[in-house]
Structure 1
Amino acid sequence: MDRPPLLRANTELMGKDETQVSAPKREQSWWQSWEFYLIVLLAVVLRFYRIDTAQYMTDHNSLYQMAHDGVANGLWPITANGASTGLLLPPLFVYLMMIPAAITPNPVAGNILIALCNVLAVLLTYVFVRRYYGRVAGTIAALLYATAGNVIVFSRDIWQPDMLPLFVVLLLFVLFRGVVERRYYWFLPAVLLIGVMYQFHSTAIYLVVLLAVAMLLGFKTIRWRELPLALLGLAVLFAPYLYLESLNHLADIHTLFHVAGSKAAFNGDVLQHYRTFVSSYVADPLRTFSDTHLIPSNDHSILLTTPLHLIAQFSVPESWLMVVLLVAGVLALIVQLVWTGRSPERKGLATWLKSLLASPWNRGAILLLAWQGTILLFLRHSTFIYAHYLLYLIPGPFIIIGILLSNVMRQRQHLLLPGKVLLHYGLYVFVGLVVIIQTIGSAGWLVDHMLGNFNINYARPQYFDLATMQRLVNISDHMALKRHLGHVYFDIHGDDVSSVSYLAQFAHTPMEVLDSSQCMVIPSAQSGPAVYVTDPNRPDLNALLEHYTLATRIGDIPYPGGTPFPIYIVKATPTSQPPLQLSGGVQLVSHNADVFPVGVSALKILVTRWRIQNAQSPQPRTTYIYNFLSRYHKDVSSGTGRICRLSSTSTGDQLIPLFLFRTKTSRSLIMNIEKFSSSPQHYDHGSFKMVTFKNIDTVHTFLHIANGQDDINLTTITVIPPVPHVRHRKIPIHPPVRVTLPLPA
């Protein structure tokens, strides 16, 4: 087998001028090699298997919903979502999501685009490493990359960091073109690629270090007319974001500098995250329970309860072996740089450096080490480090291991025949076993997440996947259509609220979504029965449904990894008291505030009932808010009030804010109600509507009674409800194998 171009050039350049290196012989094309199709198969299967079960929470939903709103409603986004630091992110990723959103509102199309990009990243890794380091190195690097479990986790979600590996590999092609091959016109695309990746995640700014090293090594190949073109390209890339910053007086940029200037401390946790990328099993290395991506399987995993455990038992030692290989690969690159840079005829640092940089292989190795070496910049930081912060380093670890093992294989030429054969086939067997262990570990984790062999409460916030969100909407819609019911209510909370609100707008039956953490809603008595889905983590809602409605539990909606969502048919009971009319289209249903004991604890739930007279239709990313305030702050655990957030309202809906009281409560209560809505921040120029991720509230209006006062007096009454029991009529509900959303008319 011919030596790869870089190795061949490195050997020939010992004591020679670079111009003496002859062009490499033509080798077999990468697409004609059998291993290429094995890599394609593994990469595609492990990234596309049940892709509808990929994580789908607030960030994922916000990004795809903004893309859909831009295509369907003409709301052009000039930011993406917000970062954990409070910064609004640039919108390039949302623009990419507009491609699948223009085809279908179903977010699974966004997952497919992300998976395709990550499959392409694997294939380009094979092509890149094979081009510069040989077929063996390329095959090993791509196979390890294609089957690494903790990389696959970040290859399926609608999330900006998941796009980084593809553009990193493209950047490597560009930099090696200029630094290794000494060809021109690499600087402009390199700058633009880094600008693109910075929009995906701010940690990509560390790639500027790699660019600086490339400029030092290949400054003679830079055409200086590329500099103004690069600045112009960056201005175009960031134009929407810069426009917003000009309107906000550079508020986000000031925040960015403030965060960067925060007090930092040394911490080695980032190295723990780095090693997980070469691990064959998914786990949070720091056990912080704060990363919803790295949720391990539980004791019911198929890797523990099936014959697969015979292979999976080697996952831990194999993972540590991969760490050893990674460290050895880095050290080998450093040693080879020092060794090949020496010049026996001439002495001195200048001559050593000249000899070092004369070799294309050395220049490529310096780029790889500079790229991976930026992880050392994370050792001193002021914010918490997550695993996805390091995705700009992928697929670096696999490239380094591939180069190491291919170099080991080349040493067989120095051995006798038996040792040569043993090393040759032994290394192939070793790589094959590693790939098998990684594939089993990754596939097992994917199947476990599909079957629910994990705990959705392992991390915070609570975990949700796209299939569960679609199942909630589709099954509820099906039940309403089957029984000819006109409405569906979701009283849920957490990261599922915004997701269900978006998906619900494509159902056939009108749906209302409410955050159950502080409030619940029930239909009016005049509207007839309705389908009602409650939060499985709020059993107290059962008692309230039993007390205020005629509720029949007809089944459960599966929630892999968690408690199923109860689904009911409810019909509100009519009220006998005349309502008290308030401004803003709200009525007080009862002058009594009911107090319910909460189990055997000292807490009690205080319930008041209010009727909404005006229907409010669902609008893109719009929430209708009613803030119920209690005058007796000392008796309310929250101290401020209860907020009812609804995606839409129907005429006659009853709002029930849920106050938590301590043991002693007053016989009377004074309530105030504040009404407003929250919708995306707009910057309109005629018919061209631009929006940001940030929501802006309308004017907060206090509702008042006929005499103009906004104080509503209520009398508290203790209610001892029966043991929570809801009539059951079990109907088996099985989720379809493939859950799809109906296309809008």
Structure 2
Amino acid sequence: RAYGRFTGTIAALLYATASLAVSYSRYMWNQNLLPIVVVLFMITLFWGVVDRRKGWIAFAIPLLGLLVQLHATGILMAAPFAVALFLAPRTIRIRDILIGLLALLIIYAPYLVWEYSVKFADIHILLNSMHGKAIIDDKAWNFYITFLSPYPFNYNAYPPTSKLTLLSRVYPYISSLQPILLILLIVSAIVALMVVLYPFGPWPTDRRWLSIPVLGRIMGYWTQFRNNPYRCGLLLLLVWQVIPLLYLSRHSLAIYAHYFIVFMPGQFILIAFLFGRLFKWFNAHGKWEVFPQVLRYLTFGVALVLILAQFVGTSADVLDYVHGRYSDGAVGNNLYNSLQPLQNAVNQADQLAQSHHFSRVYMSTNWPTQSSLRYLSAQMRTPSTVFEDTPCLVLPNPADGPAVMLVGPYSPLTDALLTHYANATLVSEPPRNGGAPFKLYIVYPSTQQSVVGSTFGSDLQQLSTPAQAFSSNGSNYLVTHWSMMRSAPAGYDKIYGYNFKESSSAKQHTSTLCVLTSMRVGDQLLVASRQPGNKPFPSSSVITMGVQSYAENPYYLKAGPLTFETYRVVTSPWTLIRTSQGAYSLTIHVRA
């Protein structure tokens, strides 16, 4: 409405087809919601500055607070807010400010309760983080122009080089899009600045200041500027894009690409503004002449080509991700997991257990799949135990019969332990986009393990002494075998952990942490402690092992009749478990 339908249409299409805009909108993350709130916030500022409507500040204040809640970079929008206050002071009413502050208090009430409960620890952290040495570099500028790229910011391939991807095929045709958009953005900013600063007419003079000519001309210029809503609106756009960028160029903390989501879709609005000015100028200065008409249609054609080029690059990238034509990250790190393969793997495990009437599903995780599988396991019909597989393996109680085991990708130690200490049949390999698949087993636990009398309290009972040296993937481990003596239910954000502290006769010390979401009496726990220096054990040696236990539960904050769910967990004190003989450790022989 402020700059015409043509400008608005071009801005909307450029933003809708922008690669990073689409990429960030495809998953849930707090700051990914910033653009829609930023647009609403800027609309309220335009109500006051361009339309000169009263009441705008009652909406702007809570929207600014919401921006800060979504991400701390939302505070950068205080710059255009301050300019709006300066440009439209007569539209501000005390009651509107009070209404805005009341709305701000309502949306911040849970946060204030939280800060009070933690003694404003977040405020102290924020203030302390600002004491670092500030540097000025080009990181902010590089991140800013990345949002003009025809393909998303990719940690694995930038630009795309894999011949398997659709994006790599179209890349040669769209690789020049970013510098073109950057040039258009810079030219547009210059044109907008000229429109803002230059009155394009006789220099006005405020007659109230005729006795002081210079001051009269300045006041006349200021009065004319404020009376021109078009120029005031452009100033808001420029402040939105320039001031926060300058601020982020000098930083004492590391900055990341998602800090610049708050700029969207301002850069595309500015580019569309340039196209709109050209289109309007050609239309006004040569309505019946051929050459201006050609230039007008050429302007429209260039805008259309840029939009189509963005659409092609963005569509190719989305299709590559949907069909798994990407790398999930460095092998072993398993950095990226899309939701559908995770859901498919969990559903297959659940269906397999249901079809065979098994009573349990076990799932191994590493840090990239940990949170997702813990959440998805709560939606299964079959009871499950989710455990971290880096040092440990959970096997079903032999008395309960076979069970289903879902092993995560890049888990060579888990695969080796499973095939060595249990009878495991590989049923399927649920696919996973961009990397190694999951593995779905039916596990028949070994019934030949002898029970040793040594126990750690009422938690663990030792099986199959002596401990066994074990090699996997070029690394040496010492495996101890335990049986669980107690049950613990699964629950939201609940985990149970055992920390096995091992000391050898060679004065080597290791610590191995096993984490589970639930426990069942009789389930077996294999603990693989990696040896320092990766040295093999001698043919005859002895270790001393102690065990600590702990648990984590969700933290609920209570304030009067209200109960707030928080992201924090309450960790119980680490308890050193006594053995059945009253000691704090067991002596275990090692078999090389």
Provide TM-score, normalisation by structure 1.
Answer: 0.74
Conserved? CA contact 1:298–1:455, under 8 Å: no
Give per-residue Cα distances to partners, 1:650-692, cap 9 Å, x unaligned: 2211112221113154611111111111112233368753332
Q: Which one of 177, 183, 188 corresponds to residue 324 of structure 1?
A: 183
In terms of mean alpha carbon deviation, does 338-347 or 697-706 score higher? 338-347
Q: Does 1:674 align with 2:533?
A: no
Rounded Cα–Cα distance in structure 2 between residues aligned with 1:494 and 1:554? 25
Q: Does 1:614 align with 2:496?
A: no
Give per-residue Cα distances to partners, 1:149-200, cap 9 Å, x unaligned: 1110111211111111111111111111111111111112101001011110
Cα offset, 1:261, TM superposition:
2.7
Q: Which one of 322, 326, 329 corresponds to residue 454 of structure 1?
A: 326
Higher relative contact order (CA 8 A, sep 6+): 1
Structure 1: which 5+ runs fail to align?
1-130, 719-745
Conserved? CA contact 2:19–2:310, under 8 Å: yes
Rounded Cα–Cα distance in structure 2 between residues aligned with 1:633 and 1:225? 77
Structure 2: which 5+ runs fail to align?
206-213
Partner letter of residue 293 of structure 2?
A: V
Rounded Cα–Cα distance in structure 2 between residues aligned with 1:183 and 1:581? 76
Q: 1:477 to 1:633 in 2, by over 3 A?
A: farther
Match of 1:510 in 2: 383
Rounded Cα–Cα distance in structure 2 between residues aligned with 1:669 and 1:212? 68
Q: Does 1:226 align with 2:96?
A: yes
Match of 1:354 in 2: 223
Cα offset, 1:223, TM superposition:
0.4
Match of 2:164 in 1: 300
Cα offset, 1:635, TM superposition:
6.7
Q: 1:196 to 1:706 in 2, by over 3 A?
A: same
Give per-residue Cα distances to partners, 1:517-550, cap 9 Å, x unaligned: 2222111211211111223212232221122100
Map 1:78-93 to 2 at 5 A. none
Q: 1:466 to 1:644 in 2, by over 3 A?
A: same
Partner letter of residue 146 of structure 1?
A: A
Q: Does 1:167 align with 2:48?
A: no
Rounded Cα–Cα distance in structure 2 between residues aligned with 1:597 and 1:581? 26
Conserved? CA contact 2:578–2:585, under 8 Å: yes
Rounded Cα–Cα distance in structure 1 between residues aligned with 2:345 and 2:285? 64
Rounded Cα–Cα distance in structure 2 between residues aligned with 1:463 and 1:220? 52
Rounded Cα–Cα distance in structure 1 between residues aligned with 2:430 and 2:193? 56
Rounded Cα–Cα distance in structure 1 between residues aligned with 2:235 and 2:6? 21
* Paired residue secondary structure (1:592): strand
- Give the number of the structure whose residues are more often strand, by fraction: 2
Partner letter of residue 83 of structure 2?
A: V
Conserved? CA contact 2:469–2:537, under 8 Å: no
Q: 1:576 to 1:421 in 2, by over 3 A?
A: closer
Q: Does 1:418 align with 2:284?
A: no
Q: Which one of 605, 613, 626 corresponds to residue 498 of structure 2?
A: 626
Rounded Cα–Cα distance in structure 1 between residues aligned with 2:200 and 2:275? 22
Q: 1:427 to 1:548 in 2, by over 3 A?
A: same
Q: Does 1:257 align with 2:116?
A: no
Rounded Cα–Cα distance in structure 2 between residues aligned with 1:350 and 1:531? 80
Map 1:111-510 to 2 at 5 A. 131-284=1-154, 298-304=162-168, 309=170, 312-340=171-199, 343-344=202-203, 346=205, 348-373=217-242, 374-412=244-282, 413-415=284-286, 417-457=289-329, 462-510=335-383
Rounded Cα–Cα distance in structure 1 between residues aligned with 2:326 and 2:346? 23
Rounded Cα–Cα distance in structure 2 between residues aligned with 1:604 and 1:239? 54
Conserved? CA contact 1:341–1:353, under 8 Å: no
In terms of mean alpha carbon deviation, does 519-528 or 352-361 score higher? 352-361
* Paired residue secondary structure (2:101): helix
Among the aligned pairs, what percent are the same residue?
A: 29
Conserved? CA contact 2:395–2:525, under 8 Å: yes
Q: 1:633 to 1:190 in 2, by over 3 A?
A: farther
Conserved? CA contact 1:521–1:656, under 8 Å: yes
Q: Which one of 555, 558, 566 corresponds to residue 431 of structure 2?
A: 558
Match of 2:460 in 1: 586
Conserved? CA contact 2:278–2:296, under 8 Å: no
Cα offset, 1:238, TM superposition:
1.3
Conserved? CA contact 1:554–1:568, under 8 Å: yes
Conserved? CA contact 1:171–1:190, under 8 Å: yes
Q: 1:262 to 1:461 in 2, by over 3 A?
A: farther
Cα offset, 1:272, TM superposition:
1.4
Rounded Cα–Cα distance in structure 1 between residues aligned with 2:507 and 2:281? 78
Cα offset, 1:620, TM superposition:
0.8
| CA root-mean-square deviation | 2.2
Conserved? CA contact 2:162–2:168, under 8 Å: no
Provide TM-score, normalisation by structure 2.
Answer: 0.92
Conserved? CA contact 2:413–2:472, under 8 Å: yes
Match of 2:591 in 1: 717
Rounded Cα–Cα distance in structure 1 between residues aligned with 2:192 and 2:298? 23
Q: 1:527 to 1:137 in 2, by over 3 A?
A: same
Rounded Cα–Cα distance in structure 1 between residues aligned with 2:296 and 2:436? 52
Conserved? CA contact 1:490–1:514, under 8 Å: yes
Rounded Cα–Cα distance in structure 1 between residues aligned with 2:562 and 2:503? 45
Rounded Cα–Cα distance in structure 1 between residues aligned with 2:559 and 2:246? 46
